[in-house]
Structure 1
Amino acid sequence: MKKSIVKISALGIVLFCSNLAFGQTDKLAVQDSVKLQEKLKIGNVKEDNNRNVMLNAANNTSPRDVNIGLPSTVGGITILENDLPVVYFFWPELPNKTWRQSVGLEKTGLLKMDQLANTMGDLGFAVNSYAQTGTKDFKLKGKFTTSTFGWLQGDVNASGPISKNGWTYTVGAFANYDPSTFKLGFARNVDETKIFRAGVTKYFNDDKGKISILYKYSDSYNVGNYAVFQYGENGKVTELDNFKIGRDSYVVNDGQIRMKDILSGQNYWASMNGNDNRSKAHNIDIFGNYLLNNGWNFKFSTRAHFSTVKMSTIIPLSIFQADQSAGYTIASTGQPYSGAVGTQLAMHTPETPITNIAGRFSLNKQLGNHNLTVGILEQFYHVDKYTSNRSFFFQTVEAQPQRLIGPTTDASGFYNYNAGGEYHSGTENKLSVYATDEWKVSDNFNLSYGLHLRNHLVDGEFSMTPRTPGFVFGPNDFQSIKESWFQIGGSLNATYNINKNFGVIANLLYTEENRRLESYSQAFDPNTKKIKSPLGALGVFWNTDYLQLISQATYLKKNNNLNRYNLVNPANTTQAQNVTVYYDIQTIGWTTDFVLKPFKGFNLHYLITLQNPVYKKFNFNAFGKDYDYNDNNVLGVAKVLMEIDPSYTVDKWRFWASFRYFSKQYANLTNALYFAPRWETFGGVNYTVNKNINLGATVINFLNQRGASGTINGAELITDASPYYGKLLTGTYIMPLTGQFSVSFNF
């Protein structure tokens, strides 16, 4: 499945007041912030800063995954910087290629789900960050991070005055060199990312506001990895003698893939690192605010984003056994090979220019008991001839595997060039108007509501020509796309205090979308029927000096989802087919979350979620057979989730831990395969040397669990698990035991 290569899932759950979406509702309660009681009594809290959004169990480069009962590919995924998305669409330009948690950000919080629906018209959660602007006094802040595996990250930002008439500057640099926890055969680092920032800020007289002009340059590449393991009964996996989960690389040892350009027909080699797998972007932001004489606060943010994207990806599909008579040889030596053979899908996107011009303009004012905001949002996006060239190859099954030449491959070891290849080109434009009101009806009753109206235009070209092996586009294979859709989003949230400490909450949320330009990548005209996502929730809260609790039940449905699967034929694992499926998802459940402070310095956060996300109208045909997965459980989403976060602060020390429990997660579409329940564990200690310097140590996976998670590649159609007990499969995993150390300063 293309967009599951990199999980860029919803980044936080704000359970309070207006936006508990049913599903996996994790709370990133690592540090204290605004009390629940304050959130429930005041309706204008836009963000929740009570979460460490970078506490990720899978890698060091992306915020943690938080599900809302939907798979990560359809759950609503947004990272905002200065009130605008850091990228218009996450494919092929992934958000973590141009945005990282950094001291170059003045503020980072989590946007509530209802605020995202009202202001962006989107479903899900968002990290909302603001770049560091110029300051009237000199400030220097930085952070250096390393790990037991050699991770090196340097991050620094300086800001201060230029002149006495309100002009100031900011400048910063972020550099990340991360080998992760496994060794590639062709490069030291799995992730190399550099981000540079510079800008000026002008403060208006009489504290009327400010305007900032900021430039950001980013340069990043990242290599993904999978684990090989032996699958067993009850969803348990066993490590192989020659492959350690999380410690070994399943990426072909030379990092080279051979492709055929789907536009020109030329064959070429692409690498997994360096210039063939790199995103570069130039970003210019102009933003700020100005307090008008009539009391309205005018807030504005504009962006010009220009990027070039190259991307190399390898996805494991299946593993089968071959003896010497099968005719496989090692490509680098010509030596005959017998043993386990891995089937791999290689994808490469040549240099693709992307342009995104966006602007948000809003007016806000407190009018009596109403906090009113009206705004306009414009987003223009252009992608020039996006292609995804495809090929398949075989490799040995071991750490740093070797490429194989087989009876169905060419002399380089590749076959089925451009089977399932992709193409689209053109523009999208979204023009929205929105309004929100936070109304304090009485001392006990608060209403928060908003409406988002959007016109979405798509203008481009695609092709309905089937992508058979060896396919290359001809000059007459393209046809135009011209679509215009009107979409509505919004929310209504109510909070009522029955008494000082106890009350009820009710939430309604609704969003609409149709399709994007990217939906036309394959050889068919996609279904552009309206995608509707209604959400309803009802709950109670109880707050005292020692306990803040909320408990809420939620219903969520999303129709007409589109996904593409790289399926493997269960009857012949050497056969693969790309299939597009439309389906609905429905999820209902109940979540309880509380924060307990029994004595000074101690804080305990606890969360439990019970959920039942299922597929609806899930039907397709593959390998000449009809499949129906209606009412099957959603992949990769646990039905029971629990999080326990204790912390204790004494003098200059702070000790903390985070335990996250996931019940079994289904790993293939038939639900025949699943992963056993697991814990993800974190712990750490922070020491404040003085007001300027802090030291920190974090341990990831301190229980040293080595199990797999996510989905099992190539196993989507398996219906009987028993023949697969003892077989070799591939999948994603959590990081092995890792220590991280940091020193930060702020002057």
Structure 2
Amino acid sequence: MRKKTVNLSTVGFLLFSSFALAQEDSLVVKDSTKMQKKDLKVGDNRNVMLNASSNSGPREVNIGLPSNIGGMTILENDLPVVYFSWPEMPNQVWRPSVSLEKTDLLRMDQLANTMGDLGFAVNSYTQTGTKELKGKGKFTTNNYGWIQGDVNVSGPISKNGWAYTAGIFANYDPGTYKLGFARNVDETKIVRAGITKFFNIDRGKISVLYKYSHAYSIDNYAVFRYGENGEVTELDNFTIGKDSFVVRDGMVKFRNNLTGEYYWTRLAGNDNVTKSHNVDVVGNYLLNNGWNFKFSTRFHFAKAATVTLTPISIFDVQESDGYKLGNNGQPYTGSVAAQFAMHTPSTPVTNIAGRFSLNKQVGNHNLTVGLLEQFYKVNRFTSNRDFFFQTVERQPQRLVSPGTDSDGFYNYNAGTAYHSGIENKLSVYASDEWKVSDNFSLHYGLNLRYQLLDGEFSLAPRHADFVFQPGDFSNFKNNWFHIGGSLNAKYNINKNFGLFANFLYTEENRRLESYSQALVPNTSKIKSPLGAIGVFWNTDYIQLLSQATVVKKNNYLARFSLVNPSNTTQAELLTLYYDIQTLGWTTDFVVKPFKGFNLHYLLTFQNPVYKNFNFTAFGKDYDYNNNNVLGIAKVLMEVDPSYTIDKWKFWASFRYFSKQYANLTNVLYFAPRWETFGGINYTFNKNLDVGGTVINFLNQRGASGSINGAELITDASPYYGKLLTGNYIMPLTFQFSVNFNF
């Protein structure tokens, strides 16, 4: 075996920070002195689009709590690009594009005040029609054959205030590994068109914008050997990040949980494609009394289909165990990987939303009041499920065994999912930025939300080979009232130095998706308070912020498949509700020692731990209160130097993640690792620039996740040398881009 040592890879990020988006392939540090006058947040000096794991969208912003299913919230024209991140994922309808007029990051307090949600959000605005002819374009490629074309044109239609916009985005990404059945692991096409009407005397404008998207993506995993100190080593027959662990023919068999019909799906075919139509009516109008009326409405219709494969275990077999290659019946000995497969057939999804607000500067107050309406309907969501075995190698082959059918599949629809219905959220919100005095300012906001669920679900047990019967379905209806908001205070002790304090609070209950399984979910209120206190120091050469933070969230839902550490033949399914609390301290500064040079540095210490985490399994009581949360690093660091001279820009980004725990007892973990980026940009003139980016220039490998079946073990040594699977960062990759505009 090749003894190449590799480290952990995840898409974690820093605690309680806020970011500014710049070019996708370069880090642009903002004028932090101006930034500080505008608002006071840690980490406004980086690019969240710089993603070490994927080309498809922003990286996840870590706040010391586990991320949600869809990762970072993405807004377009002040509304979520998808109402819920399953089965329609945000990156299936939205990508960074020249057809977006502006992209930035919505701070946690802004998201809490306007949407009533916890976390950060990328907020983008569609390019509308322009009074003058404008064109923008970008072409991107890399050494693995990635091809991305992106172009937008806008201009006037007539002299009486009408204008148009049109754009096309096309992405053909083969990833960094070769599939056995298709070229691309991601194919996404987005077409946009719109018209704009400008009001007289610069009162504002109104735009009608159409967007069509067509996308599929395929996830890959790595297989590696786990060792002491959380390190993993590559196998001789599998290179992390460069080999595919997706079944060679790309075909998976399922059973329809509504009809009982057996059918095959193709990972690169229509069974895995999401198509959507989106119409936005957006704009603003300056009223006679000085209030600015801003509006954004959306009509979104999609048919979402997904196929996902998740490795769950690896074990060894002998010829006597009866495993055979599925394509030719040849006996197989060696390592076998068990895969969990899910397919959501094309599911109609409807989202109708509107956000309306009034804003005005009144003396020392910048006032905003608004209304947000979100209607969501999903028609008979199903998730057909089964399991199969495959070989452990690059482009693995499917296996047939005594426990499977003749095609190699078993446990059809064990744990299958179903729900159907509507979800509606109606919110009113208000915020104020109050400059109390020259030294003291307050920002505060309040969000009041009414949520309604009305749908259909089933409590029928989901055993193997399960198919729903007509009498299995029941109706449910729930409604809740939520309060959210924030309070931020800043006090300047002198011109350059001061103190600040932040408080944020959100509430939520369950979603339609919570009714997918054969149980009535715990609908107790989920509360998320967050508090922070810190100091800031601003001069012409350094801008520094340092803050301590605490955040807590209750009523998490998790389902574990536990294995008895005293008898590994015994397994038990457990549904558990618990809390998480995180204490953190973050220091963030930008230094400008001489012209053209910027150095951004951020360091976070955090301690995310479980609370109210206890249960009984195999006749024994377990208590994991204050154990470290799986998959979240305790130390996060980022170093971002850049230097600009004449038409050249040189930049780099180094991100450090400390070890991350892989089982509940915290005896298994993955070693610390770095994510690295670097690049050069050259501007020919105001109309043309080029850039080169290197991802993972230290060429680290890595994997992340939890270790199945190991939740209760207290001795790590039996797992040393075992084959495991996990996610990973991209291998050494060279990207090249050309940007033009006229």
**Normalised TM-score (structure 2):** 0.95
Identity of aligned residues (%): 72
Asked whether 1:33 is paired with 2:30, we answer: yes
Q: Secondary structure at the match of 2:471?
A: coil
Q: Is 1:330 aligned to residue 350 of structure 2?
A: no
> What's the counterpart of residue 182 of structure 1?
177
Matching of residue 106 in structure 1 with residue 101 in structure 2: yes
Change (3 A) 1:166 1:621: farther
| 2:680 corresponds to which of 679, 682, 685 | 685
Rate the CA distance shift 1:74–1:272 in 2: closer, same or farther, 3 A: closer
**Which structure 2 residues correspond to residues 239-638 of structure 1 after superposition, within 5 A?**
239-565=234-560, 579-620=574-615, 627-638=622-633
In structure 2, C-alpha distance between the alignment counterparts of 1:68 and 1:405, rounded to whole Å:
44
Q: Find the residue that maps to 2:558 and give its secondary structure.
A: strand
CA distance in 2, matches of 1:568, 1:515: 29
Relative to 1, partners in 2 of residues 1:13 and 1:102: Cα closer, same or farther, differing over 3 Å?
A: farther
Of 200, 207, 214, 2:202 maps to 207
Q: How does 1:163-174 map to 2 (within 5 A)?
A: 163-174=158-169
State the AA in 2 paired with 1:364. Answer: N
> Given that residues 515 and 528 in structure 1 are in contact (C-alpha distance below 8 angstroms), is that contact kept between their aligned partners in structure 2?
yes
> Which residue of structure 2 aligns with residue 735 of structure 1?
730
Aligned to 2:154: 159
- Whichever residue aligns with residue 38 of structure 1, its letter is K
> 3-state SS of the aligned residue for 1:452?
strand
| Aligned mates of 2:458, 2:620 — CA distance in 1 | 26
Q: Does 1:71 align with 2:66?
A: yes
CA distances 1:473-496 after superposition (whole Å, capped 9, x unpaired): 111111111001000000000000
Alpha-carbon distance between aligned partners in 2 of 1:587 and 1:629, rounded to the nearest angstrom: 15
AA aligned to 2:156 is: P
- 3-state SS, counterpart of residue 476 of structure 1: helix
User: 1: distance between equivalents of 2:247 and 2:617?
Assistant: 29
Distance in 2 (alpha carbons) for counterparts of 1:219 and 1:459? 29
1:76–1:124 CA contact under 8 A, matched in 2: no
Equivalent position SS for 2:727: strand
- 1:207-238 Cα offsets, whole Å, 9 max, x none, are 00000000000000000011000000000000
1:409 Cα offset (Å):
0.5
Partners of 2:451 and 2:102 in 1: CA distance: 31
Structure 1 regions of 5+ residues with no counterpart? 1-5, 20-26
Q: What is the CA–CA distance in structure 1 between the aligned matches of 2:420 and 2:566, rounded to whole Å?
A: 37
2:312–2:339 contact (8 Å) kept in structure 1: yes
Give the aligned partner of residue 740 of structure 2. 745
Looking at structure 1, the residues matched to 724 and 569 of structure 2 have their Cα atoms a distance apart, in angstroms, of 14
Contact persistence 2:316–2:335 (CA under 8 A): yes
Query: Match of 2:665?
Result: 670
Q: Distance in 1 between matches of 2:627 and 2:362?
A: 50
Q: CA deviation at 1:629?
A: 2.6
User: Is 1:705 aligned with 2:705?
Assistant: no
> Cα gap change, 1:8/1:661 in structure 2, threshold over 3 Å: closer, same or farther?
closer
Q: Is the 8 A contact 1:76 1:125 kept in 2?
A: no
Alpha-carbon spacing, 1:547–1:626, altered in 2? closer, same or farther (3 Å): same
Question: What amino acid does structure 1 have at the position aligned with 2:376?
Answer: Y
Q: Give yes or no for contact 1:12–1:110 (8 Å, CA) kept in 2.
A: no
SS in 1 for 2:320: helix
Matches within 5 A, 1:23-102: 30-35=27-32, 37-43=33-39, 50-73=45-68, 77-102=72-97
Deviation at 1:706, TM superposition (A): 1.1
* Structure 1 residue 30, shift from structure 2 partner: 1.6
Aligned partners of 1:7, 1:512: CA distance in 2, in Å? Answer: 28
Tell me, yes or no, if structure 1 residue 216 matches structure 2 residue 199: no
Cα distance in 1 between the residues matched to 2:111 and 2:98: 24
**Aligned twin of 2:6:** none
How far did residue 565 of structure 1 move? 4.2
Which of 697, 702, 718 is the aligned partner of 1:723? 718
In the TM superposition, residue 452 of structure 1 has moved relative to its aligned partner by 0.1
Q: Given that residues 15 and 604 in structure 2 are in contact (C-alpha distance below 8 angstroms), is that contact kept between their aligned partners in structure 1? A: no
Work out whether residues 61 and 72 of structure 2, in 8 Å CA contact, stay in contact via their aligned partners in 1: no
- Cα deviation for residue 621 of structure 1 reads 5.6
Does the 8 Å contact 1:11/1:64 carry over to 2?
Answer: no
Larger mean Cα displacement after TM superposition, 648-657 or 629-638: 629-638
Looking at structure 2, the residues matched to 90 and 602 of structure 1 have their Cα atoms a distance apart, in angstroms, of 40
TM superposition shift of 1:569: 6.7
* TM-score, scaled to structure 1: 0.95
Alpha carbons of structure 1 residues 223 and 74: separation in structure 2 relative to 1, 3 Å: closer
- Offset from partner CA, 1:275-330 (integer Å, 9 cap, x none): 01111100000000000000000000000000001110110000001100111000
CA 1:48–1:717: 2 relative to 1, 3 Å: closer
Contact 1:393 1:404 in 2 (8 A): yes
Could you tell me how far 1:498 is from its partner in structure 2? 0.2
Provide the rounded CA distance (Å) in 1 between the counterparts of 2:636 and 2:540: 27
Report how far residue 52 of structure 1 moved. 2.1
Counterparts of 1:159 and 1:141, CA distance in 2: 9
1:30 corresponds to which letter in structure 2?
L
Distance 2:428 2:43 in 1: 25
Separation (CA, whole Å) in 2 of partners of 1:325 and 1:397: 19
For the residue of structure 1 that corresponds to 2:213, the secondary structure is strand
- Measured in 1, the distance between the counterparts of 2:10 and 2:227 equals 26
Output aligned runs, 1:131-146, within 5 Å: 131-146=126-141
Are 1:108 and 1:128, in contact at CA under 8 Å, matched by a contact in 2?
yes
CA distance in 1, matches of 2:101, 2:75: 13
Greater CA drift, 717-726 or 424-433: 717-726
Distance in 2 of aligned mates of 1:313 and 1:78: 21
Distance, in Å, in 2 between the alignment partners of 1:123 and 1:745 is 37
- Choose which of 121, 124, 141 in structure 1 pairs with 2:119: 124
Alpha-carbon displacement from aligned partner over 1:625-654 (angstroms, at most 9, x marks no partner) = 664432221111110111000000001000
Q: CA deviation at 1:570?
A: 6.2
Instruction: Measure, in 2, the Cα distance between the counterparts of 1:99 and 1:47.
Output: 27
Tell me how many residue pairs correspond in the alignment.
731
Q: Aligned in 2, Cα 1:568/1:59: closer, same or farther, shift over 3 Å? A: farther
CA distance in 1, matches of 2:698, 2:328: 41
* Matched letter for residue 28 of structure 2: Q
Aligned amino acid, residue 118 of structure 2: L
Q: Which moves more between the two structures, 700-709 or 622-631? A: 622-631
Shift of 1:40: 3.5
